[in-house]
Amino acid sequence: MTNTVLLAEDDRAIRQALERALTLEGYRVTAVPDGIEALAAIHRERPDVVVLDVMMPGVDGLQVCRVLRAEGDRTPILMLTARVETADRIEGLDAGADDYVAKPFEIEEVFARLRALLRRAAPAEPPAPEDAAIDGVLEVADLHLDSSARRVWRGGTELELTRTEFDLLELLARNAGIVLDHTTIYARIWGYDFGPGSKNLAVYIGYLRRKVDPEGRTPLIHTVRGVGYTLREE
């Protein structure tokens, strides 16, 4: 089945180039120049994935993302941004985006991130009988993660996580006490290793820490310098 993409980008040259590239890659693309048209198009026909430019006149990409999430729409969202500061990227994640790509970008990276988002959005196959034990609730200290319901609690308080944040926390919880290197995490979560220069993983870990390890709580997410990350109770 052909996957559908809603692309919102106000720069005509970038929009047309992305539309051509995505179409050649096999996607069915609806391309619009602003956030208002993006919301109208999504409300007419829900796409499989949304690609939003952050900086658009009028209703920008962040506003579109917030509106969709407020409506309960969980369609995967990939943000395109010229902003490179961590705080700007966090703003996009806080709005409900699942992933982002910084401009200028390589089209193959966009393709890889879209494939990863679509894989995670696909309905999960029922577990085989011998795998049933790995489904259900994972517990690390006072962190409780229900993988089937995709819900997380810390000390009895439910946490609101994006799709990517949940996938990352679940991976760490299933390997509690084990240090996972960057390459392994990229492969499992994004399906692609974006190389040593990428800050994508560090940004997600930092944002996940703000939710899982707020001030006053014993930290559960730990960095092992030069190696990767682990979830454990100290």
Tell me if 32 sits within 8 A of 7, measured CB to CB: yes
User: Helix/strand/coil (H, E, C) string of 16-38?
Assistant: HHHHHHHHHCCCEEEEECCHHHH
**Which numeric CATH code is attached to 135-229?**
1.10.10.10
Per-residue pLDDT, averaged over 154-175, amounts to 91
Q: Please give the full DSSP string across 150-209, using - where no structure is assigned.
A: TEEEETTEEE---HHHHHHHHHHHHTTTSPEEHHHHIIIIISS---TT--HHHHHHHHHH
Name the phi and psi angles at 91, rounded to 5: -60, -40
Q: How close are the terminal C-alpha atoms of the chain, in Å?
A: 47
Tell me if 185 sits within 8 A of 229, measured CB to CB: yes
Residue bearing the bigger pLDDT, 132 or 204: 204
Tokens representing 15?
């929009």
Tell me if 229 sits within 8 A of 172, measured CB to CB: yes
The domain ranges of the chain are 2-119, 135-229
Pairing of strands 77-81, 99-102: parallel
Residue bearing the bigger pLDDT, 130 or 76: 76
Tell me if 79 sits within 8 A of 61, measured CB to CB: yes
Q: Please give the full DSSP string across 85-117, using - where no structure is assigned.
A: SHHHHHHHHHTT-SEEEESS--HHHHHHHHHHH
May I ask the CATH architecture of the domain 2-119? Answer: 3-Layer(aba) Sandwich (3.40)
- What is the rounded distance in angstroms from the CA atom of residue 192 to the CA atom of residue 85? 23
pLDDT tens digits along 48-84: 999 999 989 889 999 999 999 888 898 999 999 887 6
The DSSP output letter for 187 is I
User: Helices in 102-186 by DSSP H: which ranges?
Assistant: 107-121, 163-174, 182-185
- What is the rounded distance in angstroms from the CA atom of residue 133 to the CA atom of residue 118? 26
Per-residue pLDDT, averaged over 108-135, amounts to 69
Is the peptide bond prior to 47 cis by the omega test (within 30 degrees of 0)? no
Give this prediction's pTM.
0.67
pLDDT > 80? residue 133: no
Query: What is the model's pLDDT at position 75?
Result: 93
